[in-house]
Amino acid sequence: MIDKLRSIEEKYEEITGKLSDPQIITNQKDFLRYSKESSDLQPLIDKIKEYKKMLHDMDEAESIIKSATDIDLKDLAREEYEELKNKKPIVEDNLKTMLIPKDPRDERNVVIEIRAGTGGEEAALFVTDLFRMYSRYAELRHWKVDVIDSNPTGIGGLKEIVASITGRGAYSRLKYESGVHRVQRVPLTEASGRIHTSASTVAVLPEAEEVDLKIDEKDLRIDTFCSSGPGGQGVNTTYSAIRIVHIPTGVTVQCQDERSQLKNKIKAMKVLRSRLYDMEIEKADRERADSRKSQVGTGDRSERIRTYNFPQNRVTDHRIGLTLHKLSLVLEGDLEEIFNALSTHFEAKKLQEMAV
C-alpha cells in the first residue's frame, strides 16, 4: 500500500505543477480538467498526510521509550504510542476504502425501467408503488424525474414505466436497485384477506452519452404512431409517438410522453443509447469474470433482491440480510439506510478482491 500511496503523491505533485504552468493556465479546458483532478485527489492526499504523520509520531514515541531516562517522559511516550497504535488500523482501513477505484459512471444520470412480473394486476400496482418510492427519493435529493414511456392498467397500476432521473450521483445511489423486488400483501381485489406474493423487476442503467458509443442511423428502424394514455386529447390526434428498433441487437424503445415527435425521438434515443451501453458494460464484466473467481457488481437482474411485507411493515434486502420494520417510510423515499448499507457491503467485497 505504501508504494501505491507514494505514486498518488507523485501524481498529485505533477498535477499541482501543471496548475502553475502558464500554458495550462491560459488553456481553460486543460486548467479545468487538472483542477478537477486536483480537487478529487485532495481528500486522499489529506488522509495520506495524516497517516504519514501518525507513523512519524509512532517512531518518535518508540524512540523516546527506548532511549529516555525520565520515567514520566517514558510513560507519556508509551501512552501516546498505544493511542496511535490503536488508531493506525482505522486510518489504514479508511485509506484502503479511498483507494478503491471509483466507478466512472457514478456521477451519471440514470434511466430506470420498472416492469410488472408475476402477480398480474397486483404486480402492476406494485410497479406504481416502486416508481413513487424512487420518485420521492429523487425529490428529497432535489433530482429531476422525467417519464419517458409508461403502460398503465385499468385500476391504477403500470405494466411498465421507463423514466430518466437527473441529478449528481444518481447512478452511485441507485445502481444496486437492479433485480427482482417482491411484495407480500393482501390485494384490494382479495375478498378473503389472503396474503398474495407478487414481483416486479427494476433495471437501473447509467445514462450513456454520445461519446460512449456510436449508433449508425442505418442500423435503426424508426416508426411513428398515435400516442395513447394520459396527456389529453392532443396527443391522440398526431403521430407524435416514436418507436425505435436497433436492428443488429433487436433492442426496441419507444416514447409517447411528449406532444412533440422530435422530443419523443430524443428521449427514445437516450434510452436506446443507455441500453446498448449497458449491454457493452455487462459483456465486459462477464469477460473479466472469466479470469477471476467472483464478480463484484450490482447483481444478476433475475435475482430476488428485496421483499416488501405490508402486514408486518417490513422490508428485507436479501443480499445483505438487512431487515427494517419501517416499510411505510421506505415507500415514501426513506432509502438512505438501505443504500448506505449496500454501498458498505459492495465496497467491502471490492476490498477483498483487491487483497487477492
Selection from 228, 235, 243, 237 nearest residue 260 by Cα: 235
**Dihedral pair phi/psi, residue 239, rounded to 5°:** -85, 65
Contact indicator for 268, 276 with CB cutoff of 8 Å: no
* Helix (H), strand (E) at residue 228: none
> What is the model's pTM?
0.70
Selection from 43, 145, 36, 143 nearest residue 97 by Cα: 43
**Dihedral pair phi/psi, residue 213, rounded to 5°:** -160, 150
Positive or negative, the CA dihedral 203, 171, 345, 126 is negative
d(CA 320, CA 345) in angstroms, rounded, equals: 7
Cα 205 to Cα 44, 237, 277, 348: the distances in Å are 29, 32, 9, 23
> Domain 217-289: which topology?
Double Stranded RNA Binding Domain (3.30.160)
Positive or negative, the CA dihedral 3, 4, 7, 9 is negative
* Helix (H), strand (E) at residue 38: helix 28-67
Contact indicator for 184, 190 with CB cutoff of 8 Å: no
> Domain 110-211+298-355: which topology?
Alpha-Beta Plaits (3.30.70)
The strand pairing partners of 116, in sequence order, are: 200
Contact indicator for 194, 171 with CB cutoff of 8 Å: no
Q: The C-alpha cell of 70 is what?
A: 525520565
* Helix (H), strand (E) at residue 13: helix 2-19
Q: Which CATH number describes the domain made up of 2-99? A: 1.20.58
| 3-class DSSP state of 240 | coil
- Helix-strand-coil percent breakdown of the chain, rounded to 5? 50, 20, 30
| 3-class DSSP state of 235 | helix
Q: What pLDDT score does 285 carry?
A: 66
| 3-class DSSP state of 347 | helix
d(CA 190, CA 194) in angstroms, rounded, equals: 7
Burial class (CB in 10 A: 0-12, 13-18, 19+), 158: buried
d(CA 137, CA 135) in angstroms, rounded, equals: 5
Q: What pLDDT score does 194 carry?
A: 87
The strand pairing partners of 51, in sequence order, are: none
Profile the chain (356 residues) by mean pLDDT over runs of 10 residues. Answer: 84 92 90 88 92 94 92 93 94 83 85 92 94 97 94 88 94 94 85 85 88 83 75 54 91 85 88 88 66 40 86 96 96 96 86 64
d(CA 100, CA 172) in angstroms, rounded, equals: 14
Domain residue spans of the chain: 2-99, 110-211+298-355, 217-289
The strand pairing partners of 204, in sequence order, are: 112
DSSP string, 61-100: HHHHHHH---HHHHHHHHHHHHHHHHHHHHHHHHHHHHHS
Q: What pLDDT score does 231 carry?
A: 44
